[in-house]
Amino acid sequence: MIDTHCHFDIMPKPEAYIRQKEQAGDIVIGMTNLPSHFKLGIPFIRNYKHIRLALGLHPLLAADNIRETNLFREYINQTSYIGEIGLDFSKACIGTKDVQISVLKELLAALQGKNKIVSVHSRKAEKVLLALLCEYDIKNVIFHWYSGPTALIPEILSKGYYFSINESMTLSNNGRSIIDMIPRNRILTESDAPYNEKSDIKKAMANIQITEAEIFRNFSELLSRVR
Ligand SMILES: [Zn+2]
């Protein structure tokens, strides 16, 4: 199984979790919410074959951690995976809109010209985020748990971007109408564990009748672009 968006670093026993995934042959990309978390975690991950750690700065933490952008730049060459980064303009977070944008611009500037796989958070900020990704010419983006307007999906696809879907999405009407608009070769799977109550990837695949082989092919295609 392939989990392109997981938060094992905030689980109670991260090492037990990833050891079990590694033994099962699963590929797991661990998000980090701050570059300092990446710095702490990366020494523990290096010996794993299928587990990767992404360098991130979560939009909800951006306002209180502006100086972490320095660490982001410092560690950017230590991984091919970036996440979780993005924007969140939902009610609880709209107050930090401007600082979120300025922090994200710094991250995108640092990413310019680098070949990474980038998992993004876009809640209620899909249009602004997409415009910024285009402005900075960011490639290989995965829209994680997309819940925005379906009208924007064709434009996201036209950039060659992917969508990572989870079990919760496959169980909601809104999620299903989004998934219906995504061609099968642009779908990836994610758990978003432990934040997501319904995070079973096998069930997600069964619910939308997509096979592990298809997901593997999609991920391999994306991976081939950064190698
Ligand atoms: Zn997440």
Distances (CA, A) of 124 to 52, 86, 91, 144, 189: 28, 11, 9, 13, 21
The tally of domains found in the chain comes to: 1
For residue 38, what pLDDT band results from cuts at 50, 70 and 90?
very high
| Average model confidence (pLDDT) across the chain | 97
What is residue 227's predicted lDDT score, i.e. its pLDDT? 82
CA of 80 to the centre of ligand 1 (A): 18
Q: Which structural domain range is residue 216 located in?
A: 2-224
Give the pLDDT mean for 213-225.
97
Q: pLDDT value at position 212?
A: 97
Q: What is the pLDDT of residues 120-176, one digit of tens each?
A: 999 999 999 999 999 999 999 999 999 999 999 999 999 999 999 999 999 999 999
How many angstroms is it from 191 CA to the middle of ligand 1?
Answer: 9
In terms of C-beta distances under 8 Å and separation of at least 24 residues, what long-range contacts does 65-71 make, across chains too?
65/34, 66/99, 66/103, 68/34, 68/35, 68/36, 69/35, 69/103, 69/106, 69/107, 69/110, 71/34, 71/35, 71/36, 71/38, 71/39
Kindly give, in sequence order, each residue whose CB lies less than 8 Å from that of residue 80, ignoring residues fewer than 6 positions away.
52, 115, 116, 117, 226
Entry pTM:
0.97
**210 C-alpha vs ligand 1 centroid, how far in Å?**
22
Calculate how far, in angstroms, residue 79's C-alpha sits from the geometric centre of ligand 1. Answer: 18
107 CA from centroid of ligand 1 (Å) = 17
- Provide the CATH number for the domain around residue 212: 3.20.20.140
CA of 147 to the centre of ligand 1 (A): 13
